Amino acid sequence: MLKNLEEVEIWTGNIAVAEAAIRCGPEIVAAYPITPSTPIIQHLSDAISEGRLRGDFIAVESEHAAMSGAVGASVAGARTFTATASQGLLYMMEMIYWAGYGRLPMSMCLVNRALAPGWSIWVDHQDMYSMRDAGWLQWVAKNNQEAHDLVVHSFRVSEHHDVYMPSAVNIDGFVLSHVAGQVEPLSARVIEDFLPKFEPMFVMDPKDPISFGALTLPNDYRLMRQDLLDSMERAKDHFTKASAEFADLTGRDWGDLVEVYGPEHADVCIISMGTMAEEVEEAVDLLNAKGGKSYGAIRIRAFRPFPIERIMDLVSNYDRIIVLERGFSFGSTPPLYTEVRSALYGILDRKPLHSRVIGFGGADVSFKQIMETVKEVLEVEI
* DSSP line for 159-214: HSTTT---EEEEEETTTTTT-EEEE-PBPHHHHHHHSPPP--S----TTS------
Q: Rounded distance, CA 202 to CA 224, Å?
A: 16
Q: Whole-number mean pLDDT of the chain?
A: 95
pLDDT for res 351: 82
Which band of pLDDT confidence, cut at 50, 70 and 90, is reported for residue 1?
A: very low
Name which of 154-168, 227-241, 331-345, 367-381 the model is least confident about: 367-381
Q: Mean of the pLDDT values across residues 139-168? A: 98
Convert the pLDDT of each residue in 186-230 to its tens digit: 999 999 999 999 999 999 888 888 887 789 999 999 999 999 999
% of residues, the chain, pLDDT over 70:
97
Angstrom distance (rounded) from CA 329 to CA 337: 10
pLDDT on residue 79 = 98
Query: How far, in whole angstroms, is CA 13 from its chain's centroid?
Result: 13
pTM above 0.75, yes or no: yes
Across the range 77-106, mean pLDDT stands at: 98
Q: What is the pLDDT of residue 346?
A: 82
* pLDDT above 90 as % of the chain: 91
Neighbours of 38 (CB within 10 A): 19
Beta-carbon contacts of residue 141 (< 8 Å; ≥ 6 apart): 13, 147, 150, 169, 170, 171, 176, 274
Q: Residue 3: pLDDT above 70?
A: no
Domains of the chain: 9-250 (3.40.50.970), 258-378 (3.40.50.920)
What pLDDT is attached to residue 2?
43
For residue range 10-52, list pLDDT tens digits in order.
Answer: 999 999 999 999 999 999 999 999 999 999 999 999 999 999 9
pLDDT of residue 29: 98
Query: In the structure, what pLDDT confidence band is assigned to residue 381 with cuts at 50, 70 and 90?
Result: low
E strands, the chain, where?
Answer: 9-12, 28-31, 56-59, 80-84, 107-112, 137-140, 167-172, 180-183, 258-261, 266-272, 295-300, 302-304, 318-325, 353-357
